[in-house]
A = this chain, B = another copy of it.
Amino acid sequence: MKISDEIRTELKFDNKGLITAIAQDYQTGEILMLAFMDLEALEKTVKTGKAHYYSRSRNTQWLKGESSGHFQVVHEMYIDCDADAVLMKVEQLGGGACHTGYRSCFFRTLDGDVVGDKAFDPKDVY
């Protein structure tokens, strides 16, 4: 994977220097999580093939899986029409993406029902 020169000039970071990143299971199409990347996190993701993000609350870059072992191996990367969002098709190691233990961070409906699948027990991981 690489970032083409043309897309590199198009990339549109917000006023905090971030773009949005979606992680989608490369086999099932399930949306696993949504987070943010700065340019360096994007470049590290492309270079290493493992998803790196930028935490808005902790103001720091992070390698997904660094503490949990639940790395996301990136199979494909897409950019959207206005070049401010990235879609990654990933292989989620460890069974789940969410720190709560659910497979996906989107484990609740907006009306409050818990519908997601538990993938691990957070106390075994964090």
A-side interface residues toward B, CB under 8 Å? 1-4, 6-7, 20, 22, 24, 28-31, 33-34, 46, 76-82, 85-87, 98-100, 102, 105-112, 115
Contact = CB atoms under 8 A, between A and B. Distances in A.
Tell me the number of copies of this protein. Answer: 2
Contacts of A79: 106, 108-110
Nearest to A6: B112
Contacts of A109: 76-79
B22 A111 contact: no
Nearest to A84: B34
B33 A80 contact: yes
Given A31-B31, A31-B87, A1 B81 contact: no
